[in-house]
Amino acid sequence: MTRDLDELNPEFRKAVDLVLADLAHWCKEHLPGREPVVIETYRSQERQDALYAQGRTADGHIVTWTRNSKHTQRLAVDIGFSKTGRAGWWDAPEKAWKYYAHLARKHGLVAGYDFKNRDRPHIQMGE
């Protein structure tokens, strides 16, 4: 698993940088004690296949609904909200996820928040 933003497509990376900057500013005012954190950027097809198997043919919970992820094309990133000095990014309040999705749309990206099987941390380049 990689969190390196340099692994992303350069055009997509520019939009992600804008989202992260806006989100960091918003967190300071509206979500003190939290900051945006990159969870995962590029994902190999082998890793994508292993994640897809999770909860199906392998142990664990289902974490993805597709074998054909934009992560493998360097056109997707997962971002969460870390607690300062503590682990955990997934339990941010709903208002944080909604605002993050808004920022993704504002910068021309697709928000996983809007997917049928909601994927709050995920944003990607459009079709």
So what's the pLDDT on residue 47?
94
Question: Which structural domain, as residue segments, surrounds residue 118?
Answer: 5-125
Give the HSE-up count for residue 120: Cα atoms under 13 Å, Cβ half-sphere: 14
Q: How many domains does the chain have?
A: 1
pLDDT at site 85: 56
Count of helices and strands (H, E) across the chain: 3, 4
Instruction: Count CB-CB contacts under 10 A for residue 26.
Output: 17
Query: Of 7, 79, 80, which is closest to residue 43 (Cα–Cα)?
Result: 7
Burial 45-76 (b: 16+ CB within 10 A, else e): eebbeebbeeeeeeeeeeebeeeebbbbbbbb
In 3D space, the residue among 44, 90, 39 whose CA is nearest the CA of residue 67 turns out to be: 44
91 pLDDT band (50/70/90 cuts)? confident
pLDDT digits (tens, 9 = 90+) for 99-119: 999 999 999 999 999 999 999
User: Domain of 63: which CATH number?
Assistant: 3.30.1380.10
Q: Is the pLDDT of residue 123 over 90?
A: yes
- pTM attached to this predicted model: 0.91
pLDDT tens per residue across span 20-56: 999 999 999 999 999 999 999 999 999 999 999 999 9
